[in-house]
Amino acid sequence: MTQPSPGGGKGTFITLEGGEGAGKSTHIRFLAEHLRARGVDVLTTREPGGAPGAELIRKLLVEGPPDAWDSTTEALLMFAARRDHLERTIRPALARGQWVISDRFADSSRAYQGYGHGVAHERIETLYRLAVGDFAPDLTIILDLPVATGLARAAARHGVEDRFERFGPAFHERVREGFRAIANAEPQRCALIDADAPIEAVRARVLQVVTERLGIG
């Protein structure tokens, strides 16, 4: 039998955030398996992407040269994809009572386009209100590790979706600073986890946070 959300019948929205190579997809897989083994109906998804229209925008954002877009255009594209993802995938799944686990959500725009590229915080939050409204994750897990380690892990994948990796270490240091600032500003929603630890230790910490924050073992 599917276990209901702690919130009383509706689904629960969990996001995993972090810089390049932080291990988000690996730990989403671990977490989804853990929850499903306990009877939770889980949907995993990603950003940019996660819905048909958003996946088309994803290709524009994650492939090609770093200078394909200026910072404001990039932010607009991200929030356009996010709106499609939210309306076509996330909200319907939550309404069905599913738990949704997303590889990135709006904190990535705050960190990448905001801290990384320097788009003003006020502009990012205006886009958030327009595209997302008052909706927010129930829990955000931020995987933190040194930039050099993350970029080395990401480079080892040898994929075509490497546009953000090519912005350089200084950009990614600002992104890391942004994620840490978000975690410090919203401790009730966010949990910062050391992703430079052994993978089993990171996995255990992720499960501990989910158990403590959302009441599921």
Residue 169 lies in a domain: yes
- Ligand-binding site membership of 23 (annotated): yes
**Within 13 Å, how many C-alpha atoms sit on residue 140's CB side?**
22
> What percent of the chain lies above the pLDDT cut of 70?
95
In a domain, 6, yes or no: no
Distance CA 151, CA 72 (A): 24
Check if the beta carbon of residue 123 is closer than 8 Å to that of residue 152: no
Residue 217's pLDDT is 64
Residue 52, in any domain of the structure: yes
pLDDT for position 100: 98
pLDDT at 11: 95
pLDDT of residue 160: 81
Judge whether 22 is annotated as a binding position. yes
71 is in an annotated binding site: no
Specify the pLDDT at position 6: 39
pLDDT tens-digit profile, the chain (217 residues): 333 443 345 899 999 999 999 999 999 999 999 999 999 999 999 999 999 999 999 999 999 999 999 999 999 999 999 999 999 999 999 999 999 999 999 999 999 999 999 999 999 999 999 999 999 999 999 999 999 999 999 888 877 888 999 999 999 999 999 999 999 999 999 999 999 999 999 999 999 999 999 988 6
Cβ atoms of 141 and 179 within 8 Å: the answer is no
3-state secondary structure of 14: strand
Model's pTM, two decimal places? 0.93
Distance from C-alpha of 154 to C-alpha of 141, rounded to nearest angstrom: 19
CB-count burial class (<10 Å; 0-12, 13-18, 19+) for 198: exposed
At 180-210, the pLDDT tens digits run 999 999 999 999 999 999 999 999 999 999 9
Would you say residue 2 lies in a domain? Answer: no
Amino acid occupying residue 13: F
Cα–Cα distance for residue pair 54/79, rounded to 1 Å: 10
- pLDDT at residue number 1: 31
**25 annotated as ligand-binding:** yes
Residue 68 is part of a domain; what is its CATH number?
3.40.50.300
Q: Is 8 annotated as a binding-site member?
A: no
- Does the annotation place 18 within a ligand binding site? yes
Q: Specify the pLDDT at position 50.
A: 98
- Number of domains comprising the chain: 1
Residue 43 belongs to what domain range? 12-214
